[in-house]
Amino acid sequence: MEDLIGSFEKKDNVSLGKMLKEVENQTPLSLEILKLSSFRKGKAHIIGVTGPPGSGKSTLVGKMCKKLATMDLRIGVVCVDPTSPFTKGALLGDRIRMQELAKLPNVFIKSLATRGNLGGLASSTADIVQVLDAYEMDVILIETVGVGQIEFDVLGVADTVLLVSVPGLGDTLQTLKAGIMEIADIYVINQADRPGADESVKDLNLMVKESGKREWSPPIHKTVATQDSGIDELIHDITAHKKYLERSGLWKEKRQTRNVTRLYSMIESLLAQRVEDHINREESLKAKVQDVMKGERDPYTTSHEIVDRLIAKHNSYQYGG
């Protein structure tokens, strides 16, 4: 414990790496780490980068980091790749696009596998980000899996969301049309060296307009990540978005919402765990579950019975009756 507190003060990469490993694997120690980091977090600007695979997210993140690193900022990067549902293994290949960062002391990269989580992030992502934040990273970039669909998990974690796509939008356009305009704070048409970039920008522009007037109107950027082009402008707007968040009070609001969401999700998972334990301990409840399984009882009545029973038991225990 002492060691851990010490390492938050020292901020050396080796201890950070060890802590993140605990958190990633959700070990018993990770709870302590999260408790500690909970009060230290809140300063980092958390940027989510989402978009279809191959659109250039990793390359773009790499170039943004390189630029941010020259601005004397401490940067954390979290890259998420899919876990194979068959083998439970994963090939995490985003770092290969970020080789230029390897020699920069102020960049820390962590690759995560989804381990079965479906919303585009690993279930430990928020925790990992929290620890990085507590380690006084100024900026934290999260690259989502990019399985082709818009990934909503990132909305709950990031302050600023970038949606990266390529000329000839295709799929992205379809999802956007489905009315999910709100997802992105900044749109990026990467690979603008390929034909059709200007048309894509035009199309996007139209959609942003159609989606009605908002306080923050999402800018649209053209980039060629491989050639380092358009990165400065992109970073400029990311900074502008941060300022907007602060000005509008959203910065604080998002953090407060996240805290509460976190609380409720913790409660939920704790409750779920308790209920499960409770069922496993009581033969009569187990039997009921069996009946539901066979279709002899309905899950609606039974769920109420089980939860009521748990609470009743809890009360009687509390009040000695």
Ligand X SMILES: Nc1nc2c(ncn2[C@@H]2O[C@H](COP(=O)(O)OP(=O)(O)O)[C@@H](O)[C@H]2O)c(=O)[nH]1
Q: Looking only at residues 265 through 304 of this chain, which bind ligand X when binding is defined by CB under 6 A?
A: none
Q: Collapse the DSSP code of 30 into the 3-class scheme (helix H, G, I; strand E, B; otherwise coil) and give the result.
A: helix
Q: Say whether residue 206 binds another protein (CB under 8 A).
A: no
Q: What is the DSSP letter of 113?
A: E
Q: Say whether residue 227 binds another protein (CB under 8 A).
A: yes
- Of 172 and 191, which has the nearer Cβ to ligand X? 191
Which of 180, 10, 285, 84 shows the shortest CA–CA distance to 172? 180
Cα separations in angstroms, 54 against 50, 87, 144, 230: 11, 23, 12, 18
Return the half-sphere exposure (C-beta side, CA atoms, 13 A cut-off) of residue 212: 5
**Minimum CB distance to another protein, residue 108 (Å):** 5
The interface partner of residue 239, options being Mg ion, another protein, ligand X, none and the CB cut-off 5 to 8 Å by kind, is none
Site string for ligand X, 218-257 (x = CB under 6 A): ------xxx-------------------------------
Identify the helix (H) or strand (E) that includes residue 50: strand 45-50
**Minimum CB distance to another protein, residue 88 (Å):** 5
Q: Say whether residue 184 binds ligand X (CB under 6 A).
A: no
- Of 140 and 234, which has the nearer Cβ to ligand X? 234
Q: Looking only at residues 40 through 59 of this chain, which bind ligand X when binding is defined by CB under 6 A?
A: 53-59
**Minimum CB distance to another protein, residue 186 (Å):** 24
Which of 106, 108, 112, 107 shows the shortest CA–CA distance to 94? 112
Tokens coding 86: 């068959």
Tokens coding 3: 């060691």
Compute φ and ψ for 43, nearest 5 degrees.
Answer: -95, -30
* C-alpha span between 125 and 265 (Å, rounded): 14
Q: Looking only at residues 241 through 300 of this chain, which bind another protein when binding is defined by CB under 8 A?
A: none
Residues at the interface with ligand X (CB under 6 A):
53-59, 94, 97, 146, 190-191, 193-194, 224-226
Residues at the interface with another protein (CB under 8 A):
13-14, 16-18, 20-21, 24-25, 59, 83-84, 87-93, 95-97, 99, 102-103, 108-111, 113, 115, 226-228
